[in-house]
Amino acid sequence: MPHPTRGYSGLLHKRGFTSLLAAQALSVFNDNAYKTILIFCVLTHASRADLAWMVPAGSGLLVMPYVLFSSYAGQIADRVSKRSIIITMKALEIALMAAATLAVFSAQIPLMLGLLFLEGIHSCFLAPAKEGILPEMLADEDLSRANGLLQLTIYSMIVAGPAAAGFLVPVFRGEPYLPVACLIGTALLSFIISLGITRVPASGYREKFHWNAPGEFLRDFRGIRSDRALFLTVLGIAYFWMLGSVYLMNVYRYGPDLLHLDEHGVTYLNACLSLGIGLGAALAGRLSGDQVELGLVPLGSIGLGIFAVELFFAHHSFRLALGAHALLGVAGGIFIVPLEAFLQQRAGEQSKGRVIASSNVLTFTAVFLGSGILWLLSGPLRLRPDQVLLTMGVLSFGATAYILTILPDFMVRLCLWLLTHTFYRIEVRGAENLPRRGGALLVCNHVSFVDPFLIGACTQRFIRFLMYRPFYQASGIHGFAKLMGAIPVSDGDSPQRIAASLEEAQARLREGELVCIFAEGSITRTGNLLRFRRGFERIMRGLDVPILPIHLDRVWGSIFSYERGRFFFKWPRRIPYPVTLHVGAALPSQATAFDVRQAVMELGAEAFAHRDATQRPLPQLFFETARRNWRRFAMADSSGRILTFGRALVGSLLFRQLIRRRCENERMIGVLLPPSVPAALLNMGISFSGGVPVNLNYTASADAIDVAIARCGLKTIFTSGRVLEKLSLPCRSQMVMMEDVARSFSKADRIRALLPARLLPRFVLQRWLFPASVKLDSLATVIFSSGSTGIPRGVMLSHRNIVSNIEGIQQAIKIDRKDCLLGILPFFHSFGFTAGLWLPAISGFGVIYHTNPLDARKIGELCRTYQVTILISTPTFAWEYVRRCAAEDFRSVRLAVVGAEKMKPELMQAFGEKFGIDLFEGYGCTELSPVVAVGVPNSSGPRHRQSGNKAGTVGHSLPGVAVRVVSVEDGATLRPDQEGMLQVKGPNVMMGYLGDPEKTREVITPEGWYVTGDIARLDTDGFITITDRVSRFSKIAGEMVPHLKVEDALHHALGCSVPTMVVTGVPDERKGERLVVLHTPLNVSVDELLSRLRETPIPKLWVPRKDNFFEIDALPALGSGKLDLRRVKELALSLSVKRPREALALEP
């Protein structure tokens, strides 16, 4: 199967097709040039009496072979390689032009007319081959464009041929054979070019050759008649040529009689009409995109009527007449191209030649009919030329109405085309997965009210949708829904009625139709992919047709989606609105709702990875947001700094100037600062300069910081003397103090940053600001993982990673410009960098920074002062807020989320009781930029309830992020609610580990799945439950014991919800490993705690021994608030080794 191209440029780069195009163009040129030269010869040598019949006879001789011999031409085209036929015809054309030269040289008019008849036969045998070869050498997606280009060249040569003849004949007036001799060279060139046409095999047609041409035509016509769509297409083509013959011949009266033109003026009118058809054909090819767009047919028919009526009123003005003729031609080109392409596509592989030949018989019969109609209107009815055009225009309107009445498909296609070429721009990926014939069930995510139209526009095939019955019956919708053949169904229907709807869908699939169902059952209000209902499984019972998963991307945000909390009543973000539709590979008919949902989710992840048309690198997105929101509040911190977006942009440009001056050849630049306004502006300035900010973990050990500096090759580290003093960190030679930087900015520097940022046009400023080397896939930052379970690794995140994750967050938590985020997570933390720094900067809402996430009282004050609406924290920090903040501190908060470690149910309950708001849990990791999933508020209404969260889970995966659970042992994909390894796929998956490709290959599969190391379950609703990490298991006596579950059981037995114990494993000579419990001071004895623990259903093997409990002052924690599991392990090993020695010393 040939591969589809992208647009006209891709098509023209196909040598085989351009050879066909050029060879055909030269043949049409020869036909028309020779015909014109012949007319000149007749005018010169024939008597006045002979002129009356010779000119029309010439036209008849050129057309008559199509009626007489098309059946033979079609049979040959189906038996022999069409390329061979074209080349043979080109060789015969050379001989014909040589014979024509001799005929003109001898001035034998009958011989000239005979050769014109042979030229007609030549064209007749060429036509089925040149049109039938297109679907054999090109993909179906290219047929409309190919026909558009073919018609453009044909009609251009229809003009160019007579024009060239009109130039050459006067030049060689005494030697009229020389212009014909020139055509021998053209024919020879055409033959040479034709050798480059793509080689195609014969179709395989082997039936006996039928010499009875009328009988063969009737036989082929019966075959066409049996296919209603094909039959109506053939009639449509014939109708167009009938109109064309009337319009073309009417010009010879319209010009002289009404506009008082001579033959040159009439030539101009004909040229405008012909060129208009060519341009309209090319336009139709472009508007059709990658499919045969039948919706253009009624549009072209309407145009044929409008411009014919316009010509009725334009007979007083030559200019108006020229324009109207050109526009009439454009409408004709738009009308004919979809029909020609559909004919080529629809005809069978072994019958294309005969179908095209039969169509030619009808077409040229219609041409003769058109001549008869013109004679009737002009003769017996005595209509003026303009009245003839008015009559034909009215006929076109009637034909349009007839088309839309008998073919509702055309009406639907027209509406879909108008919608998708005015308000939307659709990009279709995976169109090759849609079957051209046969039934298939399409299963798609449901984001907006226009989803059926968007899906219907992605294929030329008619799709029947299962539709919510109340909408189906609503006034204003019912008529169009019925026209679309929608199948109504509703949860409120009786069981019998639901069964009837599903049976109808099943029957349509059996009949080979496409049926589409939105398996979520309603439009998403949460922005996430909802649970897929199992109704379509009932439809597929007993059927052997494929299920095609489909994902609509970027529809969330259109006025027809629930984005911003409402449908319809909001301003569109842009017109036309870009939409991407992904069609996945076919699934078997036995696929379950869970399987199909997983496939649609993976398509969503793939879709986010192809948002190049709208995504930009991080600084460019911030620049665009700042220019749009110049005076809006952007950021503040606890020191009292407050900036608008305009001032934030100017500040970041100041740092850009500094970086470009001071760090000219440095790719990575270190930042050792807590979250604050200067730290945010510095990170943005580094990104604006084309550099890569590396935020160092100031809570890590000196060795860990040294590792990060060495791996990144940092030569410059921006920090603050106060920070170094407070954290007791040593000053290094490469450090630059922010206090010195602030003093170095002069007034001139500030003006140089302000004036261009405020005054220069965006396109100028963008070219000046952004290095051409910074692309979406360029490195945006290196973040060193927390090192909670090992040595920190440098995680490389690209601009695409972070931007895609931000877009998923925006959709999941419904960001609004009125929001205000509390930014307490450090920028060396992946969430702090993505959500604390870039999310508000790109989204256009405010952020409040504070350096210490445990400073609960100050955080409460900031939340009250700045009316914080979004709080993102960790469970450790959230417990501090519960204990120390006042209830009114978080009164403005609409969304509170914790992550980085598992949230206990007790924390969720305590937070809700204290502040009156739900606390949701999220999940992510540095390698995933970082957010994978998040719980959000439920959405409820009179007719719907959609869950955004579920107790004990971390919510749904973000839009654009795919998840799956696989077996730890063999990697097999698990069914719903089975525990296994969680894997994540999407554009948020990191570029890799800095300088460690081997480790990168260990955690990212060849298919692009990131192995998280977390044990999880995925339920049928799509909610993810994290149960533990692989690294947090101990293998004791051959059984895997989960540390997290032991911790939960211990806390439950203690009756304490605040984390006071942590479980880890150490080596054991007898059982392989043993459990060790580190704890802060307990309110009961260890014996009492163990006694309570044994009363629970926990397995005995999971109960730690008394001598493996060790009291410590505080549980080790990282700067992000997560448990420092590496330090926990070290302490456990140290204490467990020390205790046996002490016990040994006490022995007598």
Distances (CA, A) of 371 to 127, 245, 280, 890, 926: 22, 7, 24, 84, 76
DSSP line for 152-178: HHHHHHHHHHHHHHHHHHHHTTT-THH
Q: Are 860 and 901 within 8 A, CB to CB? A: no
Same domain, 168 and 238: no
Residue 561 lies in a domain: yes
Q: Do residue 225 and residue 335 come from a single domain? A: yes
Torsion of CA 853, 858, 860, 863, to 10 degrees: -90
- Give yes or no: residues 698 and 683 share one domain: yes
Beta bridge mates, 920: 897
Q: Is residue 855 part of a domain?
A: yes
d(CA 537, CA 509): 13
* Beta-bridge mates of residue 1072: 1068
**Residues 11, 8: Cα–Cα separation, whole Å:** 5
pLDDT one-digit tens code per residue, 677-712: 999 999 999 999 999 999 998 887 788 888 899 999
Residue 1144 has pLDDT above 70, yes or no: no
Whether residue 158 is contained in a domain is answered as yes
Q: What SS3 class is residue 1010? A: strand
**Residue 784 contacts residue 795 (beta carbons within 8 Å):** yes
The whole-number pLDDT of residue 50 equals 57
pLDDT at residue 964, as a whole number:
96
Each residue's pLDDT tens digit, 606-655: 999 888 888 899 999 999 999 999 999 999 999 999 999 999 999 999 99
Tell me the average pLDDT across 215-242.
Answer: 85
Q: Quick: pLDDT tens for 883-923.
A: 999 999 999 999 999 988 788 888 999 999 999 999 999 99
The contacts of residue 893 (CB under 8 Å, 6+ apart) are 863, 868, 869, 870, 871, 915, 917
Closest CA to 445 of 549, 591, 579, 538: 549
> What are the structure tokens assigned to 125, written together?
């045998």
Which has the higher per-residue pLDDT, 1028 or 538?
A: 538
Element (H, E) at 358: helix 352-378
In 3D, which of 426, 126, 371 has the Cα closest to residue 246?
Answer: 371
CATH code for the domain of 1051? 3.30.300.30
Show Cβ contacts of residue 334 under 8 Å, excluding neighbours closer than 6 positions. 280, 281, 283, 284, 287, 296, 299, 300, 303
Average pLDDT over residues 719-745: 89
Hey, which of 414-428, 631-645, 1014-1028 has the most confident mean pLDDT? 631-645
Please report which confidence band the pLDDT of residue 1141 belongs to, taking 50, 70 and 90 as the band edges.
very low
Cβ–Cβ < 8 Å for 600, 551: yes
The number of residues making up the chain comes to 1148
pLDDT digits (tens, 9 = 90+) for 119-156: 888 888 888 888 888 888 888 778 888 888 888 888 88
Residue with tokens 């809402």: 845
Same domain, 190 and 224: no
**Phi, psi of 450, deg, nearest 5:** -95, 5
| Ranges assigned E (strand) in 558-610 | 577-583
| Contact in structure between 797 and 850 (CB atoms under 8 Å) | no
| 722 within 8 A of 698, measured Cβ to Cβ | no
Spatial CA neighbour of 135 closest among 6, 1, 22: 1
User: Hey, what are 760's tokens?
Assistant: 């220069």
Domain boundary among 1028, 1053, 1085: 1028
Least-confidence region, from 458-462, 496-500, 521-525? 458-462
Residue 1011, number of CB atoms within 10 A of its CB: 17
Domain edge (last residue) among 904, 935, 966: 935
**pLDDT tier, 962 (very low <50, low <70, confident <90, very high otherwise):** very high
Kindly report, residue by residue over 85-124, the tens digit of the pLDDT.
Answer: 999 998 998 998 898 888 888 878 788 888 888 888 888 8
DSSP codes, 476-542: TTHHHHHHTT-EEE-TTS-HHHHHHHHHHHHHHHHTT-EEEE-TTSS--SSSS--PPPTHHHHHHTT
Domain assignment present for 999: yes
Task: Indicate which CATH number applies to the domain containing 749.
Answer: 3.40.50.12780
Residues 6+ apart with CB under 8 A from 731: 724
Same domain, 867 and 827: yes
- 332, 244 in Cβ contact below 8 A? yes
Distances (CA, A) of 1028 to 67, 211, 981: 79, 80, 10
Supply the DSSP string of 96-111, one letter for each residue.
Answer: HHHHHHHHHHHT-HHH
Q: Are residues 640 and 590 in the same domain?
A: no
Q: pLDDT of 293-337, one tens digit each?
A: 777 888 888 999 999 999 899 888 899 999 999 999 999 999 998
pLDDT for 1063 equals: 93
pTM, full prediction = 0.78
Question: 869: closest CA among 822, 837, 914?
Answer: 822
CATH code of the domain containing 503: 3.40.1130.10
As given in the structure block, the two tokens for residue 599 are: 């496939």
Average pLDDT over the chain, rounded to an integer: 86
pLDDT band at 789 (very low <50, low <70, confident <90, very high): very low
pLDDT reading at 1142 higher than 50? no
Q: What is the CATH number of the domain that holds 278?
A: 1.20.1250.20
- What is the spatial distance between Cα 118 and Cα 112, in angstroms, rounded to a whole number? 10
User: What's the pLDDT tens digit per position in 170-209?
Assistant: 777 778 788 888 889 999 999 999 999 988 888 777 778 8
Rg (CA), the chain: 38
Q: How many domains does the chain have?
A: 6
CATH code of the domain covering residue 1008:
2.30.38.10
- Indicate the residue type of 83: R
Determine the Cα–Cα distance for residues 343 and 340; give it in Å rounded to an integer. 5
Per-residue pLDDT of 383-417, as tens digits, reads 888 898 899 989 888 888 877 776 666 667 677 77
Residues 6+ apart with CB under 8 A from 847: 634, 635, 636, 680, 820, 821, 822, 823, 836, 840, 841
Name the most confidently modeled range: 520-529, 814-823, 832-841. Answer: 832-841
Look at the block and give the residue holding tokens 């938590």: 813
The kind and range of the H/E element at 1067 are strand 1061-1068
Sequence-distant (6+) residues with CB within 8 A of 428 are 289, 290, 458, 580, 581, 583
**Separation between Cα atoms, residue 955 and residue 971, nearest integer Å:** 24
For 1077-1103, write each residue's pLDDT tens digit.
999 999 899 999 999 998 888 888 889
The residue written with tokens 């580190």 in the block is: 1078
- Asked if 627 and 776 sit in the same domain, the reply is yes
Q: Measuring CA to CA, how many Å separate 232 from each of 145, 329, 359, 362, 396? A: 22, 22, 11, 12, 16
What pLDDT band is residue 763 in, cutting at 50, 70 and 90?
Answer: confident
User: Tell me, what's the pLDDT at 57?
Assistant: 64
- 67 confidence band (pLDDT: 50, 70, 90): confident
Q: Is the confidence at residue 547, as pLDDT, over 90?
A: yes
Co-location of 554 and 695 in the same domain: no
Contact between 1074 and 1068 under an 8 Å Cβ cutoff? The reply is: yes
Judge whether 950 lies within some domain.
Answer: no
1098-1121 pLDDT per residue, tens: 888 889 999 899 999 888 887 667
- Terminal Cα-to-Cα distance of the chain (whole angstroms): 88
Read off the tokens for 1092: 């309570």
Question: Which of 353, 376, 407 is the C-terminal boundary of a domain?
Answer: 407
Dihedral angle, C-alpha 551, 552, 554, 560, nearest 10 °: -150
In this structure, the answer to whether residues 198 and 217 fall within a common structural domain is no
Is the pLDDT at 1072 greater than 70? The verdict is yes
Strands, sheet with 1109-1111, edge to edge from the N-terminal-most edge strand: 1061-1068, 1072-1079, 1109-1111
Is there a single domain that holds both residue 270 and residue 316?
Answer: yes
In the chain, % helix, strand, coil (3-state, to 5) comes to: 55, 15, 30
**Position of tokens 């965006």?**
762
- Mean pLDDT score, 59-82: 82
For residue 767, give both structure tokens: 């070219």
Helix, strand, or coil here: 981? Answer: strand
For the chain, percent of residues with pLDDT exceeding 90: 38
What is each CA distance from 261 to 160, 250, 316, 317, 463, in whole angstroms? 21, 14, 12, 11, 52
Range of the domain at 972: 956-1028
Nearest to 678 by CA among 716, 625, 628, 640: 640
Looking at the structure, do residues 972 and 930 belong to the same domain, yes or no? Answer: no
Nearest to 58 by CA among 43, 71, 74: 43
**For residue 546, pLDDT beyond 80:** yes
pLDDT of residue 569: 67
Residue 414 belongs to some domain of the structure: no
Q: Which of the residue ranges 3-7, 795-799, 1001-1005 has the most confident prediction, judged by mean pLDDT?
A: 795-799
Is 779 within the bounds of a domain?
Answer: yes
- For residues 318, 319, 321 and 322, what is the CA-based torsion angle, rounded to 10 degrees? 110
What is d(CA 662, CA 282) in angstroms, rounded to the nearest whole number?
55
Q: What percent of the chain has pLDDT over 70?
A: 94
Query: Are residues 331 and 436 located together in one domain of the fold?
Result: no
Average pLDDT over residues 766-793: 80
| pLDDT tens digits, one per residue of 13-51 | 888 889 998 998 898 888 888 877 777 776 666 555 555
Q: Name the DSSP letter for residue 691.
A: -
Does 265 reside within a domain?
yes
